[in-house]
Amino acid sequence: MSNNRSGVFFGGLMLGATIGALTGLLVAPRTGRETRKILKKSANAIPELAEDLSTSVQIQADRLSAIALRNWDETLDRLQEAIAAGVDASQRESQVLKRQTSVEDSDSLPQQLERS
């Protein structure tokens, strides 16, 4: 999760820096011509900035996907182990119950013979 937060932080940092730079240019004591030149340069840099941001987001998404897949695999393994343990325990309990039933049946046979 810290990877996701750092990606969001850096994305916000880049966006804030861009907005701050544009605001600073607009309120700076320059002539209109100078300000337009600077804005044009900044506007030309936006696609590169957007590409960098997109790459950063993609890297973070890939990391999160890998983490989620790893967590899913670990959860699936634990679930399979728990099911196998439950099946084994159920089979052992079934065998114990069969033995108890057969012992009770063999004990009750002489009593049934005595009654007849």
pLDDT tens-digit readout, 74-106: 999 999 999 999 999 999 999 998 888 877 766
By residue count, the chain amounts to: 116
pLDDT tens-digit readout, 30-66: 777 887 787 788 778 888 888 888 888 899 999 999 9
Question: How far apart are alpha carbons 77 and 79 in whole angstroms?
Answer: 5
pTM of the model: 0.42
pLDDT for 2: 57
pLDDT for 48: 84
Confidence of residue 112 (pLDDT cuts 50, 70, 90): low
What does the pLDDT average to over 101-112? 66
Q: Where are the domains of the chain?
A: 30-105
Give the amino acid at 98.
K
CA angle 52, 65, 17 (to 5 degrees): 25
